[in-house]
Structure 1
Amino acid sequence: MAEPEKSLLQQIRDKELEFSKKIATARADAESVIAAARTDAEDLLCTADTAGKTNAEQVYWNERGRTESDIEALKSAAEQEMKRALREGEQNLPAATERIVRYVTME
């Protein structure tokens, strides 16, 4: 026997059920894609955070080393300037002493 033909209302209900199943499947797929994307995003954030900290530490130590080198260069330059001023002062001491003595004795 042939199956009786479904009424138009029954055919509509069948299509609604079919589309409802497709929508549920699509929703489940979308939710799994979203969950995977969230997991990937969290992983990327953790990786970026770690990389950022590593880079920041590297910049810190590089700048600290450069600053220490600059400080040493400034100390060396100051020491050389002090030695130069001391040599000039020692060279000018006899002439300065003589001038002071002449000024005091009014010669």
Structure 2
Amino acid sequence: MKNIAEFRIIGRVGKTEILDKVAYINIAANYGRKVSGQWDDDTHWNRVTVFGKAIERVAKLGRGDLIHVAGRVRQTSYERQGATTYGVDLIAEAFAVLAKFGRPAEDDQQDD
């Protein structure tokens, strides 16, 4: 049996950063929680890493677009000044635009 670590996020695009061979998407996902007896949105920001041909599609994303992203989780660690720093990377394997901010999504916006 294959061991896996994967994620799935449906949320709104905050900002994108496109570099030479990698792109990053900041995605806001909201969860409900009770505060003083009232339900409130608790927003969590997720930074997703995108490689390959999907980088071109990231360039077309706009702030507020609703997207669905699925991929794998990769743990990282590095040493700096004698201290080990740990992190988690969310690597996109597929994403689809569910709705453009203020207009419907195009049909060809899904990667496999």
Report if TM-score (shorter chain) is over 0.5.
no
* The structure with more radius of gyration: 1
Q: Which has the higher strand share?
A: 2
Higher share in helix: 1
TM-score if structure 1 supplies the norm length?
Answer: 0.13
Q: TM-score, length-normalised on structure 2? A: 0.13
Higher relative contact order (CA 8 A, sep 6+): 2
